[in-house]
Amino acid sequence: MARDYLGEFEHVTVLAILRLGDEAYGVTVRREIASRTNRDVSIGAVYATLDRLESKGYVKSRRGDPTPERGGRSKRFFQVTAKGILVVNRTQKAFESMIEGLDLVRSCG
Amino acid sequence: MNGRSHSAEPPRLGAWILSLFLPAEYVESISGDLQEEFLQLRTKSGEAFARRWYWRQAWKTVARLAGRGFSAAPLSTTGAIVAGLLLLRLVHSLPDRLLSALTDRYLFYWSDHLHAYLWLLRALPIEYLAGSAAVGFLVAVAAKEREMIATTALSTVLFAMAGVASVWVVASTGDSSFLWNLPRQCLDPLVIVIAGAIVRNRRSQTRSSHSA
């Protein structure tokens, strides 16, 4: 079986879900990514990535209860699976291995 | 206050577009997420800012997830579009063929009732539109949860074909009056999208009545 790795935005999204724990749903995931990476992220980009991650089995979702501030609509909470943890670790190690020994500050200067 | 009615709800048209184009499984969660953020932004930064933000998010979300919806089932969606094009070709040739067959068979009748013949001739565009609507319904039903993606894609192909054909005719004949037909030819794609929206709305209503 081919060893799978996460794409850059998939990696960021999985890390955001892990940081948020039980409170990971569309709004919080989008805000977490926006505030930590300092980029404008659309809810569509987040859900397109979550949909892809879910189809690969790296995250799973469940529906919460409907709330009035959402017009009676329910939240969809996301959680990283064991397979997801494995792939995020593998991707992280690949990044660290690639960055090892590089002096990025000097390279830019 | 500028006198405009201020609503705690996000823009209705934006919410409706989202409900039409998003994959069915995400409509509730994404609409809820956007409404939640809209209300918070409205309180923090004002109605106008929140509305602009909502519209920006809605367009970006539709673009991203419609593309994702297509890539999730490319074969069935493409199949529905190709079948729709073939059906349109068949359906659009029917009124002409029927009229030719009738006039050939009852030539004496038509010469005596020229007005009825002219009426039938004038009604041809309406028959084309009815045919397009029927094809739009069929494509939307066949595309299952991707009604709007399939019908919008079919309409875009039709619109592009009509545009290219008009430009080609104008370029080869030098007669720009053909361009005046373009708005009428846009009606077919529009009717197909409307048929897709009707099927989608109907399915959403059925789904929500089942879950209630």
Domain boundaries, chain B: 12-71, 73-211
- Rounded to the nearest integer, the mean pLDDT of chain B is 83
Task: Give the chain B residue whose CA is nearest to the CA of A66.
Answer: B32
Measured distance CA(A90)–CA(A104) in Å, rounded: 22
Q: Is residue A1 part of a domain?
A: no
- At B212 the pLDDT is 62
Tell me which chain A residues have a C-beta less than 8 angstroms from the C-beta of B62: 44
Mean pLDDT, chain A, whole residue set: 91
Domain membership of residue A103 (yes or no) is yes
Give the residue numbers in B contacting A (CB under 8 Å), as ranges. Answer: 9, 23, 26, 28-37, 39, 56-57, 60-65, 67-68, 72
Gyration radius of chain A's alpha carbons: 16
The total of other beta-carbon atoms located within 10 Å of residue B120's CB is: 16
Look at residue A85 and tell me if it is in a domain.
yes
Q: Higher model confidence: residue B153 or residue A60?
A: A60
If 0-12 CB within 10 Å is exposed, 13-18 middle and 19+ buried, where does residue A31 land? middle
Helix (H) or strand (E) holding A7: none
What is the distance in angstroms between the Cα of B209 and the nearest Cα belonging to chain A?
A: 14
Instruction: Please tell me the total count of domains within chain A.
Output: 1
pLDDT tens string B60-110: 999 888 877 777 778 888 888 889 889 988 888 887 787 777 777 776 666
In a domain, A2, yes or no: no
Residue A58, domain member (yes or no): yes
Q: Give the domain range for residue A94.
A: 8-108
pLDDT in tens, B159-212: 888 888 888 888 888 877 777 777 777 888 999 999 999 999 888 888 777 666
> Considering only CA atoms, which of A20, A6, A11 is closest in space to residue A79?
A20
In whole angstroms, give the CA distance from residue A8 to residue B182.
Answer: 45
Widest distance between CA atoms in chain B: 77
